[in-house]
Amino acid sequence: QSALTQPPSVSGSPGQSVTISCTGTTSDVGGYNRVSWYQQPPGTAPKLIISDVNNRPSGVPDRFSGSKSGNTASLTISGLQAEDEADYYCSLYTSTTVVFGGGTKLTVL
């Protein structure tokens, strides 16, 4: 299964909103709702921030939200803060495999 497609980088100023896309096909993103998002600040392990397309685990700020339309899932971060600067990865989980996106580097200007 091919990696999911994400933009290499996005940027925004504090207080703004940014959206990161994660594009697959009808065989993966379009056919499953087990899309998750992970945040990875430099030098640290990934952290789960969105599960099942749009569910936030306990402790994750409501500035983070997820959605899906067709073959594309999206992560939106509103009210950008300096601490949001990190790499973000989408992933798709099925009963037989886990596929990750190529990752997106978020820069807070």
Partner 1 sequence: QVQVVQSGAEVKKPGASVKVSCKASGYTFTIYAIQWVRQAPGQSLEWMGWINPDNGDTKYSQKFQGRVTITRDTSASTVYMELSSLRSEDTAVYYCARDRYGDLDYWGQGTLVTVSS
Binding site for partner 1 (CB under 8 A): 3, 34, 36, 38, 45-48, 51-52, 57, 89, 91, 93, 96-103
**Distance separating alpha carbons of residues 86 and 107, to the nearest angstrom:** 7
- Taking the complex as a whole, the smallest distance from the CB of residue 8 to partner 1 amounts, in Å, to 10
Pairing of strands 9-12, 98-100: unpaired
Q: How far apart are CA 44 and CA 50, in angstroms?
A: 18
- When the beta carbons of 74 and 91 are compared against partner 1, the nearer one is 91
Q: Which residue's CB is nearer to partner 1, number 13 or number 42?
A: 42
Q: Which residue lies nearer to partner 1 by CB, 15 or 57?
A: 57
Q: Which two tokens stand for residue 62?
A: 């409501």
Residue 82 main-chain phi, psi, to 5 deg:
-55, -35
- The minimum distance between CB 38 and partner 1, in angstroms, equals 7
Smallest distance from the beta carbon of 48 to partner 1, in angstroms?
A: 5
